[in-house]
A and B are shown apart, each in its own frame.
Chain A
């Protein structure tokens, strides 16, 4: 149990931008994940992803990691920024690009 939380911690801290989603960026399997990953693609910087449908341990435990009950989840520099609605709102107002550009530069 502790191991999986450590594994999540390494993933979110080891990647400037990390998304936990249902499906893959090429083949999202949920409309919310699809829209969220599309926003990340539009920002244009590299990001890592984890398909939670292919990793039962992460699927079960990710909600406990940052006390966030739903998927997808987007992390920038180890911090949860939110799920679909927050990511899209930040994309539309320009904050997402700003945040990701800064995170990718450091």
Chain B
């Protein structure tokens, strides 16, 4: 299983109605085929009545293992069903500015 699949699998614990796990590593200064930078768009009513920080903590917790070693960056967009219908989609991630990776 690659990292993208692992992330997808682990986030099933949050019962997502919609889940996108996008490998954005190609936008960064890493070797071709890397799995270092990801963007996750997750829509779940598990986020209802939770502040953004609490929602992100839920995702961070589910991906604790990956975040502590494997992956370098995680852009995260958490929405409830109502918010998803209202907004439609998540914003674009920024391009790399050349900062070093893990030191």
Contact = CB atoms under 8 A, between A and B. Distances in A.
A17 interface: no
Contacts of A65: none
A30 B97 contact: yes
Q: How large is the interface on A (under 10, 10 to 19, 20 to 34, 35 or more residues)?
A: 20 to 34
B91 interface: yes
Q: How large is the interface on B (under 10, 10 to 19, 20 to 34, 35 or more residues)?
A: 20 to 34
Which secondary structure characterizes the binding site on chain B?
mixed
B60 A29 contact: no
B52 A69 contact: no
A78 interface: no
Given A85-B76, A86-B53, A86-B56, A29 B68 contact: no
B6 interface: no
Given A30-B97, A70-B74, A83 B56 contact: yes
Contacts of B103: 53, 56, 59
A68 B7 CA distance: 18
Contacts of A31: 93-97
B100 A29 contact: yes
A86 to B, nearest CB: 4
Contact of A34 (B53, B60, B64, B94): B94
Contact of A30 (B76, B91, B99): B99
B99 A69 contact: no
A88 B91 contact: yes
Given A33-B99, A84-B94, A85-B77, 20 more contacts: A29-B99, A29-B100, A30-B97, A30-B99, A31-B94, A31-B96, A32-B73, A32-B75, A32-B94, A53-B103, A59-B103, A68-B57, A69-B60, A70-B67, A70-B73, A70-B74, A82-B56, A86-B52, A86-B53, A86-B56
Q: Which 8 A-B pairs have the closest CB atoms?
A: A31-B94, A29-B99, A30-B99, A69-B67, A22-B99, A86-B52, A82-B53, A35-B94
